[in-house]
Structure 1
Amino acid sequence: MTPVHQALLIWALAAIAQAIAWARQQRTANAGLVDVVWSFGLGGAAVLAAVTGGGAPLPRLLLGVLGGAWGLRLGLHLLHRVRGEAEDGRYAQLRRRWGAAPLKWAAMFQFQALLVALFALPFLAVAANPQAGWNGWLAAGVAVWLGSVTGETVADRQLARFRADPGHRGKTCRQGLWRWSRHPNYFFEWLHWFAYVLLAVGAPIAALAWTGPVLMYAFLRWLSGIPFTEAQALRTRGEDYARYQRTTPMLFPWFPKERP
Protein backbone atom coordinates (compact mmCIF):
# COMPACT_ATOMS: atom_id res chain seq x y z
CA MET A 1 0.00 0.00 0.00
CA THR A 2 1.37 3.42 -0.94
CA PRO A 3 1.82 6.16 1.70
CA VAL A 4 -1.02 8.14 0.11
CA HIS A 5 -3.40 5.20 0.39
CA GLN A 6 -2.23 4.58 3.96
CA ALA A 7 -2.92 8.21 4.92
CA LEU A 8 -6.40 8.15 3.36
CA LEU A 9 -7.27 4.89 5.12
CA ILE A 10 -6.09 6.24 8.47
CA TRP A 11 -8.14 9.40 7.96
CA ALA A 12 -11.27 7.42 7.05
CA LEU A 13 -11.00 5.13 10.07
CA ALA A 14 -10.29 8.08 12.38
CA ALA A 15 -13.34 9.93 11.00
CA ILE A 16 -15.56 6.93 11.76
CA ALA A 17 -14.14 6.58 15.28
CA GLN A 18 -14.59 10.28 16.04
CA ALA A 19 -18.14 10.22 14.67
CA ILE A 20 -18.97 7.47 17.16
CA ALA A 21 -17.25 9.45 19.94
CA TRP A 22 -19.20 12.58 18.96
CA ALA A 23 -22.50 10.69 19.21
CA ARG A 24 -21.61 9.50 22.70
CA GLN A 25 -20.50 13.01 23.69
CA GLN A 26 -23.91 14.33 22.72
CA ARG A 27 -25.40 12.03 25.39
CA THR A 28 -22.77 12.42 28.13
CA ALA A 29 -21.87 16.12 27.62
CA ASN A 30 -18.19 15.27 28.12
CA ALA A 31 -16.06 16.19 25.12
CA GLY A 32 -12.87 14.85 26.72
CA LEU A 33 -13.58 11.64 24.82
CA VAL A 34 -12.20 13.33 21.70
CA ASP A 35 -8.68 13.20 23.16
CA VAL A 36 -9.06 9.55 24.16
CA VAL A 37 -10.08 8.57 20.63
CA TRP A 38 -7.29 10.72 19.17
CA SER A 39 -4.70 8.87 21.27
CA PHE A 40 -6.02 5.39 20.57
CA GLY A 41 -6.48 6.32 16.92
CA LEU A 42 -2.92 7.50 16.52
CA GLY A 43 -1.58 4.38 18.23
CA GLY A 44 -3.71 2.30 15.89
CA ALA A 45 -2.40 4.32 12.94
CA ALA A 46 1.16 3.34 13.88
CA VAL A 47 0.18 -0.32 13.89
CA LEU A 48 -1.72 0.00 10.61
CA ALA A 49 1.21 1.78 8.94
CA ALA A 50 3.58 -0.93 10.19
CA VAL A 51 1.38 -3.72 8.80
CA THR A 52 0.72 -2.11 5.40
CA GLY A 53 4.07 -0.34 4.84
CA GLY A 54 6.53 -1.32 2.15
CA GLY A 55 9.74 -0.94 4.14
CA ALA A 56 11.97 -3.51 5.81
CA PRO A 57 10.52 -5.67 8.61
CA LEU A 58 12.66 -4.28 11.47
CA PRO A 59 11.69 -0.58 11.25
CA ARG A 60 8.07 -1.59 10.76
CA LEU A 61 8.18 -3.88 13.79
CA LEU A 62 9.67 -1.12 15.94
CA LEU A 63 7.05 1.32 14.66
CA GLY A 64 4.16 -0.99 15.47
CA VAL A 65 5.42 -1.82 18.95
CA LEU A 66 6.57 1.66 19.98
CA GLY A 67 3.86 3.71 18.31
CA GLY A 68 1.12 1.32 19.40
CA ALA A 69 2.36 1.21 23.00
CA TRP A 70 2.61 5.01 23.16
CA GLY A 71 -0.97 5.47 21.93
CA LEU A 72 -2.29 2.78 24.25
CA ARG A 73 -0.63 4.29 27.34
CA LEU A 74 -1.78 7.82 26.59
CA GLY A 75 -5.29 6.71 25.65
CA LEU A 76 -5.74 4.70 28.86
CA HIS A 77 -4.40 7.60 30.94
CA LEU A 78 -6.86 10.03 29.35
CA LEU A 79 -9.74 7.55 29.56
CA HIS A 80 -9.17 7.22 33.30
CA ARG A 81 -9.38 11.01 33.64
CA VAL A 82 -12.51 11.29 31.49
CA ARG A 83 -14.30 8.61 33.49
CA GLY A 84 -13.23 9.86 36.90
CA GLU A 85 -13.37 13.65 36.57
CA ALA A 86 -15.66 16.40 35.35
CA GLU A 87 -15.31 17.61 31.78
CA ASP A 88 -11.91 19.14 31.07
CA GLY A 89 -11.96 22.89 31.63
CA ARG A 90 -11.04 23.62 28.01
CA TYR A 91 -14.12 21.82 26.71
CA ALA A 92 -16.33 23.07 29.54
CA GLN A 93 -15.46 26.61 28.43
CA LEU A 94 -16.48 25.76 24.86
CA ARG A 95 -19.69 24.18 26.13
CA ARG A 96 -20.62 27.41 27.89
CA ARG A 97 -20.26 29.19 24.55
CA TRP A 98 -21.68 26.54 22.21
CA GLY A 99 -24.21 24.69 24.33
CA ALA A 100 -25.26 21.41 22.67
CA ALA A 101 -24.64 22.76 19.10
CA PRO A 102 -24.34 19.34 17.37
CA LEU A 103 -22.74 20.70 14.20
CA LYS A 104 -20.05 22.66 16.04
CA TRP A 105 -19.11 19.68 18.20
CA ALA A 106 -19.17 17.38 15.16
CA ALA A 107 -16.80 19.73 13.32
CA MET A 108 -14.45 19.75 16.31
CA PHE A 109 -14.42 15.95 16.53
CA GLN A 110 -13.82 15.59 12.78
CA PHE A 111 -10.99 18.11 12.95
CA GLN A 112 -9.33 15.78 15.44
CA ALA A 113 -9.79 12.93 12.95
CA LEU A 114 -7.91 14.99 10.37
CA LEU A 115 -5.16 15.60 12.92
CA VAL A 116 -4.78 11.84 13.38
CA ALA A 117 -3.96 11.56 9.67
CA LEU A 118 -1.54 14.51 9.82
CA PHE A 119 0.26 13.26 12.92
CA ALA A 120 0.49 9.80 11.35
CA LEU A 121 2.77 11.10 8.57
CA PRO A 122 5.94 10.23 10.56
CA PHE A 123 4.65 6.67 10.85
CA LEU A 124 4.38 6.43 7.08
CA ALA A 125 8.00 7.51 6.75
CA VAL A 126 9.19 4.83 9.19
CA ALA A 127 7.04 2.18 7.51
CA ALA A 128 8.77 2.95 4.19
CA ASN A 129 12.30 2.63 5.61
CA PRO A 130 14.23 -0.02 3.60
CA GLN A 131 17.06 -0.36 6.16
CA ALA A 132 16.90 -4.07 7.00
CA GLY A 133 19.59 -4.36 9.69
CA TRP A 134 20.00 -2.97 13.17
CA ASN A 135 21.93 0.32 13.20
CA GLY A 136 22.72 3.31 15.37
CA TRP A 137 19.75 5.36 14.13
CA LEU A 138 17.27 2.67 15.13
CA ALA A 139 18.97 2.27 18.52
CA ALA A 140 18.85 6.04 19.07
CA GLY A 141 15.16 6.10 18.15
CA VAL A 142 14.36 3.39 20.68
CA ALA A 143 16.41 5.21 23.35
CA VAL A 144 14.59 8.52 22.73
CA TRP A 145 11.23 6.72 22.83
CA LEU A 146 12.04 5.01 26.12
CA GLY A 147 13.34 8.19 27.77
CA SER A 148 10.49 10.42 26.62
CA VAL A 149 7.62 8.02 27.32
CA THR A 150 9.09 7.25 30.74
CA GLY A 151 9.35 10.99 31.48
CA GLU A 152 5.77 11.63 30.35
CA THR A 153 4.48 8.72 32.43
CA VAL A 154 6.30 9.96 35.53
CA ALA A 155 4.97 13.51 35.04
CA ASP A 156 1.40 12.25 34.59
CA ARG A 157 1.58 10.13 37.74
CA GLN A 158 3.10 12.92 39.83
CA LEU A 159 0.28 15.25 38.80
CA ALA A 160 -2.38 12.58 39.40
CA ARG A 161 -1.08 11.93 42.93
CA PHE A 162 -1.05 15.66 43.67
CA ARG A 163 -4.59 16.18 42.39
CA ALA A 164 -5.90 13.15 44.29
CA ASP A 165 -5.16 14.86 47.62
CA PRO A 166 -8.21 16.97 48.64
CA GLY A 167 -5.87 19.29 50.53
CA HIS A 168 -4.33 20.39 47.25
CA ARG A 169 -7.58 21.71 45.80
CA GLY A 170 -6.97 25.15 44.30
CA LYS A 171 -3.21 24.73 44.50
CA THR A 172 -0.55 24.24 41.82
CA CYS A 173 1.62 21.13 41.63
CA ARG A 174 5.29 22.00 42.14
CA GLN A 175 6.46 18.48 42.96
CA GLY A 176 8.91 16.31 41.03
CA LEU A 177 9.23 17.24 37.37
CA TRP A 178 6.64 19.99 37.84
CA ARG A 179 9.21 21.99 39.79
CA TRP A 180 11.38 22.33 36.68
CA SER A 181 8.70 22.90 34.03
CA ARG A 182 5.09 24.04 34.06
CA HIS A 183 4.30 21.39 31.46
CA PRO A 184 6.77 18.48 31.72
CA ASN A 185 4.19 16.10 30.28
CA TYR A 186 3.96 18.27 27.16
CA PHE A 187 7.75 18.51 26.95
CA PHE A 188 8.20 14.74 26.93
CA GLU A 189 5.26 14.31 24.56
CA TRP A 190 6.99 16.65 22.09
CA LEU A 191 10.36 14.92 22.61
CA HIS A 192 8.77 11.54 21.88
CA TRP A 193 8.15 12.50 18.26
CA PHE A 194 11.88 12.68 17.56
CA ALA A 195 11.98 8.91 17.99
CA TYR A 196 10.22 8.51 14.63
CA VAL A 197 12.58 11.00 12.97
CA LEU A 198 15.45 8.70 13.97
CA LEU A 199 13.61 5.50 13.01
CA ALA A 200 12.90 6.97 9.55
CA VAL A 201 16.55 7.74 8.67
CA GLY A 202 17.25 6.05 5.35
CA ALA A 203 13.64 6.10 4.13
CA PRO A 204 12.91 7.76 0.76
CA ILE A 205 10.28 9.94 2.47
CA ALA A 206 12.23 10.44 5.72
CA ALA A 207 11.52 14.20 5.67
CA LEU A 208 7.87 13.43 6.48
CA ALA A 209 8.94 12.31 9.94
CA TRP A 210 9.80 15.91 10.86
CA THR A 211 6.12 16.83 10.67
CA GLY A 212 5.68 15.10 14.04
CA PRO A 213 7.85 17.31 16.26
CA VAL A 214 7.06 20.45 14.23
CA LEU A 215 3.27 20.01 14.39
CA MET A 216 3.33 18.92 18.01
CA TYR A 217 5.39 21.93 19.09
CA ALA A 218 3.09 24.31 17.21
CA PHE A 219 -0.06 22.84 18.74
CA LEU A 220 1.37 22.63 22.26
CA ARG A 221 3.00 26.05 22.27
CA TRP A 222 0.53 28.22 20.39
CA LEU A 223 -2.69 26.50 19.39
CA SER A 224 -4.38 24.06 21.76
CA GLY A 225 -2.01 22.95 24.50
CA ILE A 226 -0.32 25.49 26.72
CA PRO A 227 -2.52 28.55 25.95
CA PHE A 228 -5.78 26.76 26.85
CA THR A 229 -4.29 24.88 29.80
CA GLU A 230 -2.79 27.99 31.36
CA ALA A 231 -5.90 30.08 30.79
CA GLN A 232 -7.92 27.45 32.62
CA ALA A 233 -5.31 27.26 35.41
CA LEU A 234 -5.48 31.03 35.93
CA ARG A 235 -9.28 30.86 36.13
CA THR A 236 -9.23 28.11 38.77
CA ARG A 237 -6.02 28.80 40.72
CA GLY A 238 -5.58 32.53 40.23
CA GLU A 239 -2.57 34.15 41.90
CA ASP A 240 -1.04 30.82 42.94
CA TYR A 241 -0.68 29.85 39.29
CA ALA A 242 0.44 33.36 38.33
CA ARG A 243 3.33 33.00 40.82
CA TYR A 244 4.10 29.60 39.30
CA GLN A 245 4.29 31.23 35.88
CA ARG A 246 6.76 33.83 37.15
CA THR A 247 9.12 31.31 38.74
CA THR A 248 8.94 28.15 36.60
CA PRO A 249 9.98 27.65 32.94
CA MET A 250 7.04 27.13 30.61
CA LEU A 251 8.04 24.04 28.62
CA PHE A 252 11.74 23.20 28.57
CA PRO A 253 12.86 22.03 32.05
CA TRP A 254 15.29 24.36 33.78
CA PHE A 255 16.11 25.71 37.21
CA PRO A 256 13.21 27.68 38.72
CA LYS A 257 13.71 31.32 39.54
CA GLU A 258 14.05 32.39 43.13
CA ARG A 259 10.87 33.81 44.56
CA PRO A 260 11.05 37.52 45.48
Structure 2
Amino acid sequence: MNPWIQLAVLWLLAALMMTLGWLWQRPRSNAGIVDALWAGGVGGSAVLFALLGDGAMWPRVILAVLGGLWGIRLAAHLWKRVRGEPEDGRYQNLRAHWHGSQFKFFLFFQFQALLIVLFSLPFLAVARNPRAFDPWMLIGIAIWLVSVIGESVADRQLARFRAAPANHGHTCRDGLWRYSRHPNYFFEWIHWFAYVCIALGSPIVWLAWAGPLVMYVFLRWISGIPYTETQALRSRGDDYRAYQRSTSMLIPWFPKRIEP
Protein backbone atom coordinates (compact mmCIF):
# COMPACT_ATOMS: atom_id res chain seq x y z
CA MET A 1 0.00 0.00 0.00
CA ASN A 2 1.18 3.52 -0.79
CA PRO A 3 2.85 5.09 2.30
CA TRP A 4 0.73 8.24 2.00
CA ILE A 5 -2.43 6.16 2.10
CA GLN A 6 -1.12 4.33 5.17
CA LEU A 7 -0.50 7.64 6.92
CA ALA A 8 -3.97 8.88 5.96
CA VAL A 9 -5.61 5.74 7.34
CA LEU A 10 -3.63 6.10 10.56
CA TRP A 11 -4.62 9.75 10.93
CA LEU A 12 -8.34 8.95 10.47
CA LEU A 13 -8.18 6.19 13.09
CA ALA A 14 -6.21 8.39 15.49
CA ALA A 15 -8.61 11.32 15.03
CA LEU A 16 -11.58 9.05 15.80
CA MET A 17 -9.87 7.64 18.88
CA MET A 18 -9.00 11.10 20.17
CA THR A 19 -12.57 12.30 19.59
CA LEU A 20 -13.82 9.44 21.76
CA GLY A 21 -11.19 10.32 24.36
CA TRP A 22 -12.32 13.93 24.35
CA LEU A 23 -15.91 12.82 24.90
CA TRP A 24 -14.76 10.58 27.78
CA GLN A 25 -12.96 13.41 29.59
CA ARG A 26 -15.80 15.94 29.32
CA PRO A 27 -17.92 14.73 32.24
CA ARG A 28 -14.85 13.60 34.23
CA SER A 29 -12.67 16.72 33.84
CA ASN A 30 -9.61 14.53 33.38
CA ALA A 31 -7.71 15.20 30.17
CA GLY A 32 -4.90 12.86 31.25
CA ILE A 33 -6.60 10.18 29.14
CA VAL A 34 -4.94 11.82 26.13
CA ASP A 35 -1.52 10.51 27.23
CA ALA A 36 -2.71 6.91 27.43
CA LEU A 37 -4.45 7.22 24.06
CA TRP A 38 -1.34 8.72 22.49
CA ALA A 39 0.83 5.81 23.71
CA GLY A 40 -1.72 3.25 22.55
CA GLY A 41 -2.11 5.01 19.22
CA VAL A 42 1.62 5.12 18.51
CA GLY A 43 2.00 1.47 19.51
CA GLY A 44 -0.98 0.57 17.36
CA SER A 45 0.57 2.38 14.39
CA ALA A 46 3.54 0.00 14.57
CA VAL A 47 1.20 -2.97 14.26
CA LEU A 48 -0.80 -1.29 11.48
CA PHE A 49 2.26 -0.50 9.38
CA ALA A 50 3.70 -3.96 9.98
CA LEU A 51 0.51 -5.41 8.50
CA LEU A 52 0.33 -2.98 5.56
CA GLY A 53 4.06 -2.64 4.79
CA ASP A 54 5.76 -4.19 1.78
CA GLY A 55 9.13 -4.93 3.41
CA ALA A 56 10.61 -8.28 4.36
CA MET A 57 8.88 -10.46 6.94
CA TRP A 58 11.42 -10.22 9.79
CA PRO A 59 11.58 -6.44 10.20
CA ARG A 60 7.78 -6.24 10.07
CA VAL A 61 7.35 -9.00 12.67
CA ILE A 62 9.91 -7.36 14.95
CA LEU A 63 8.20 -4.01 14.47
CA ALA A 64 4.76 -5.37 15.37
CA VAL A 65 6.05 -7.13 18.48
CA LEU A 66 8.33 -4.39 19.82
CA GLY A 67 6.16 -1.42 18.90
CA GLY A 68 2.99 -3.13 20.04
CA LEU A 69 4.40 -4.23 23.41
CA TRP A 70 5.91 -0.80 24.03
CA GLY A 71 2.56 0.86 23.37
CA ILE A 72 0.61 -1.58 25.56
CA ARG A 73 3.00 -1.18 28.50
CA LEU A 74 3.08 2.61 28.38
CA ALA A 75 -0.64 3.01 27.74
CA ALA A 76 -1.51 0.66 30.63
CA HIS A 77 0.85 2.51 32.96
CA LEU A 78 -0.65 5.90 32.03
CA TRP A 79 -4.22 4.60 32.19
CA LYS A 80 -3.61 3.34 35.72
CA ARG A 81 -2.53 6.84 36.72
CA VAL A 82 -5.53 8.44 35.02
CA ARG A 83 -7.96 6.08 36.77
CA GLY A 84 -6.35 6.30 40.20
CA GLU A 85 -5.27 9.94 40.54
CA PRO A 86 -6.73 13.43 40.05
CA GLU A 87 -6.13 15.18 36.74
CA ASP A 88 -2.46 15.83 36.09
CA GLY A 89 -1.34 19.33 37.07
CA ARG A 90 -0.39 20.14 33.48
CA TYR A 91 -3.98 19.68 32.34
CA GLN A 92 -5.42 21.41 35.39
CA ASN A 93 -3.37 24.46 34.42
CA LEU A 94 -4.56 24.24 30.81
CA ARG A 95 -8.13 23.93 32.03
CA ALA A 96 -7.73 27.07 34.11
CA HIS A 97 -5.88 28.93 31.34
CA TRP A 98 -8.55 28.03 28.78
CA HIS A 99 -11.38 28.71 31.27
CA GLY A 100 -12.62 25.17 30.74
CA SER A 101 -13.13 25.63 26.99
CA GLN A 102 -14.06 22.22 25.58
CA PHE A 103 -13.46 23.45 22.03
CA LYS A 104 -9.81 24.14 22.85
CA PHE A 105 -9.53 20.74 24.51
CA PHE A 106 -11.00 19.16 21.38
CA LEU A 107 -8.35 20.87 19.24
CA PHE A 108 -5.70 19.73 21.71
CA PHE A 109 -6.86 16.11 21.44
CA GLN A 110 -6.85 16.35 17.65
CA PHE A 111 -3.33 17.77 17.73
CA GLN A 112 -2.32 14.63 19.63
CA ALA A 113 -3.78 12.59 16.76
CA LEU A 114 -1.41 14.40 14.39
CA LEU A 115 1.47 13.68 16.76
CA ILE A 116 0.65 9.98 16.53
CA VAL A 117 1.18 10.25 12.77
CA LEU A 118 4.45 12.14 13.28
CA PHE A 119 5.84 9.58 15.72
CA SER A 120 4.79 6.71 13.46
CA LEU A 121 7.27 7.71 10.74
CA PRO A 122 10.07 5.45 12.05
CA PHE A 123 7.66 2.51 11.87
CA LEU A 124 6.89 3.34 8.26
CA ALA A 125 10.62 3.11 7.49
CA VAL A 126 10.96 -0.25 9.26
CA ALA A 127 7.92 -1.70 7.49
CA ARG A 128 9.56 -1.02 4.11
CA ASN A 129 12.90 -2.62 4.99
CA PRO A 130 13.59 -5.36 2.38
CA ARG A 131 16.43 -6.98 4.34
CA ALA A 132 16.20 -10.37 6.00
CA PHE A 133 17.20 -10.79 9.64
CA ASP A 134 20.66 -9.28 10.30
CA PRO A 135 22.86 -8.23 13.27
CA TRP A 136 21.50 -4.68 13.26
CA MET A 137 18.08 -6.06 14.12
CA LEU A 138 19.59 -7.87 17.11
CA ILE A 139 21.16 -4.58 18.22
CA GLY A 140 17.77 -2.89 17.85
CA ILE A 141 16.10 -5.57 19.97
CA ALA A 142 18.80 -5.17 22.64
CA ILE A 143 18.28 -1.39 22.74
CA TRP A 144 14.53 -1.91 23.02
CA LEU A 145 14.92 -4.36 25.92
CA VAL A 146 17.27 -2.08 27.87
CA SER A 147 15.07 0.97 27.33
CA VAL A 148 11.74 -0.65 28.18
CA ILE A 149 13.14 -2.39 31.27
CA GLY A 150 14.82 0.86 32.38
CA GLU A 151 11.64 2.89 31.93
CA SER A 152 9.57 0.27 33.75
CA VAL A 153 11.98 0.26 36.70
CA ALA A 154 11.95 4.08 36.88
CA ASP A 155 8.14 4.13 36.77
CA ARG A 156 7.88 1.55 39.58
CA GLN A 157 10.41 3.39 41.74
CA LEU A 158 8.49 6.65 41.39
CA ALA A 159 5.12 4.99 42.01
CA ARG A 160 6.44 3.31 45.16
CA PHE A 161 7.84 6.62 46.43
CA ARG A 162 4.63 8.52 45.73
CA ALA A 163 2.50 5.85 47.42
CA ALA A 164 4.09 6.52 50.83
CA PRO A 165 2.20 9.32 52.65
CA ALA A 166 5.42 10.43 54.40
CA ASN A 167 6.89 11.38 51.00
CA HIS A 168 4.15 13.87 50.13
CA GLY A 169 5.73 17.17 49.11
CA HIS A 170 9.19 15.61 48.73
CA THR A 171 11.19 14.70 45.63
CA CYS A 172 11.99 11.11 44.71
CA ARG A 173 15.72 10.41 44.84
CA ASP A 174 15.44 6.63 44.96
CA GLY A 175 17.17 4.29 42.53
CA LEU A 176 17.47 5.71 39.03
CA TRP A 177 16.02 9.02 40.22
CA ARG A 178 19.23 9.66 42.12
CA TYR A 179 21.14 9.92 38.82
CA SER A 180 18.59 11.66 36.57
CA ARG A 181 15.67 13.97 37.23
CA HIS A 182 13.80 12.20 34.43
CA PRO A 183 15.11 8.63 33.99
CA ASN A 184 11.75 7.56 32.53
CA TYR A 185 12.13 10.19 29.80
CA PHE A 186 15.73 9.16 29.20
CA PHE A 187 14.83 5.53 28.53
CA GLU A 188 11.83 6.61 26.46
CA TRP A 189 14.20 8.62 24.26
CA ILE A 190 16.69 5.73 23.98
CA HIS A 191 13.87 3.42 22.95
CA TRP A 192 13.49 5.21 19.61
CA PHE A 193 17.03 4.34 18.53
CA ALA A 194 15.92 0.69 18.34
CA TYR A 195 13.86 1.43 15.22
CA VAL A 196 16.77 3.23 13.56
CA CYS A 197 18.75 -0.01 13.78
CA ILE A 198 15.87 -2.17 12.58
CA ALA A 199 15.19 0.18 9.64
CA LEU A 200 18.75 0.02 8.24
CA GLY A 201 18.42 -1.06 4.63
CA SER A 202 15.03 0.57 4.10
CA PRO A 203 14.76 2.95 1.13
CA ILE A 204 13.35 5.54 3.55
CA VAL A 205 15.63 4.76 6.49
CA TRP A 206 16.13 8.50 7.10
CA LEU A 207 12.56 8.65 8.41
CA ALA A 208 13.58 6.40 11.30
CA TRP A 209 15.69 9.24 12.71
CA ALA A 210 12.50 11.23 13.24
CA GLY A 211 11.86 9.10 16.33
CA PRO A 212 14.85 9.99 18.53
CA LEU A 213 15.19 13.52 17.12
CA VAL A 214 11.55 14.57 17.52
CA MET A 215 11.23 12.82 20.88
CA TYR A 216 14.27 14.66 22.24
CA VAL A 217 12.89 18.02 21.07
CA PHE A 218 9.51 17.34 22.68
CA LEU A 219 10.99 16.02 25.93
CA ARG A 220 13.62 18.71 26.29
CA TRP A 221 11.85 21.85 25.13
CA ILE A 222 8.13 21.37 24.50
CA SER A 223 5.88 18.99 26.42
CA GLY A 224 8.07 16.86 28.66
CA ILE A 225 10.65 18.34 31.00
CA PRO A 226 9.47 22.00 30.96
CA TYR A 227 5.90 21.15 32.00
CA THR A 228 6.95 18.47 34.49
CA GLU A 229 9.52 20.67 36.20
CA THR A 230 7.23 23.69 36.33
CA GLN A 231 4.66 21.56 38.12
CA ALA A 232 7.33 20.10 40.42
CA LEU A 233 8.55 23.56 41.40
CA ARG A 234 4.99 24.60 42.07
CA SER A 235 4.27 21.62 44.33
CA ARG A 236 7.69 20.96 45.94
CA GLY A 237 9.43 24.33 45.86
CA ASP A 238 12.88 24.50 47.44
CA ASP A 239 13.20 20.72 47.71
CA TYR A 240 12.95 20.41 43.94
CA ARG A 241 15.26 23.38 43.36
CA ALA A 242 17.93 21.56 45.39
CA TYR A 243 17.26 18.45 43.31
CA GLN A 244 17.74 20.46 40.11
CA ARG A 245 21.11 21.75 41.33
CA SER A 246 22.43 18.32 42.28
CA THR A 247 20.98 15.98 39.67
CA SER A 248 21.47 15.62 35.91
CA MET A 249 18.42 16.71 33.95
CA LEU A 250 18.08 13.79 31.51
CA ILE A 251 21.17 11.64 30.89
CA PRO A 252 21.98 9.72 34.11
CA TRP A 253 25.13 10.83 35.91
CA PHE A 254 26.48 10.92 39.44
CA PRO A 255 24.81 13.63 41.57
CA LYS A 256 26.73 16.76 42.46
CA ARG A 257 27.56 17.52 46.05
CA ILE A 258 25.84 20.75 47.02
CA GLU A 259 27.51 22.79 49.73
CA PRO A 260 25.10 24.07 52.43
Q: Match for residue 7 of structure 1?
A: 7
Partners in 2 of 1:3 and 1:141 — Cα distance? 23
Unaligned 5+ segments in structure 1 are: none
Q: Match for residue 198 of structure 2?
A: 199
Residue 228 (1) aligns with residue 220 (2) = no
Q: TM-score, normalised by structure 2?
A: 0.99
Runs of 4 or more, structure 1, over 2 Å off, are none
Cα deviation digits, residues 119-164 of structure 1 (max 9, x gap): 00000000000002x2111000000000000000000000000000
Q: Match for residue 244 of structure 2?
A: 245
Unaligned 5+ segments in structure 2 are: none
The letter of the residue matching 2:230 is A
The alpha-carbon deviation at position 57 of structure 1 amounts to 0.5
Q: Match for residue 103 of structure 1?
A: 103
Residue 163 (1) aligns with residue 162 (2) = yes
The alpha-carbon deviation at position 99 of structure 1 amounts to 2.8
Partners in 2 of 1:204 and 1:86 — Cα distance? 46
The alpha-carbon deviation at position 259 of structure 1 amounts to 2.0
Percent identity over the alignment?
A: 60
Determine if contact 1:144/1:194 at 8 Å carries over to the other structure. Answer: yes
Partners in 1 of 2:18 and 2:100 — Cα distance? 17
The letter of the residue matching 1:11 is W
SS at match of 1:172: coil
Cα deviation digits, residues 97-138 of structure 1 (max 9, x gap): 113211100010000000000000000000000002x21110
Alignment of 1:80-99 (within 5 A): 80-99=80-99
Partners in 2 of 1:31 and 1:99 — Cα distance? 14
Q: Match for residue 46 of structure 1?
A: 46
The alpha-carbon deviation at position 2 of structure 1 amounts to 1.7
Q: Match for residue 177 of structure 2?
A: 178
Residue 150 (1) aligns with residue 182 (2) = no
Q: TM-score, normalised by structure 1?
A: 0.99
Cα deviation digits, residues 215-252 of structure 1 (max 9, x gap): 00000000000000000000000000000000000000
The alpha-carbon deviation at position 25 of structure 1 amounts to 1.0
Q: Match for residue 123 of structure 2?
A: 123
Coordinate RMSD, CA, aligned? 0.6
The alpha-carbon deviation at position 36 of structure 1 amounts to 0.7
Cα deviation digits, residues 194-218 of structure 1 (max 9, x gap): 0000000000000000000010000
The alpha-carbon deviation at position 7 of structure 1 amounts to 1.0
Partners in 2 of 1:249 and 1:200 — Cα distance? 31
Partners in 2 of 1:74 and 1:107 — Cα distance? 23
Partners in 2 of 1:188 and 1:4 — Cα distance? 30
Q: Match for residue 16 of structure 1?
A: 16
Determine if contact 1:34/1:112 at 8 Å carries over to the other structure. Answer: yes
Determine if contact 1:26/1:100 at 8 Å carries over to the other structure. Answer: no
The letter of the residue matching 2:6 is Q
The letter of the residue matching 1:101 is S
Partners in 1 of 2:82 and 2:230 — Cα distance? 20
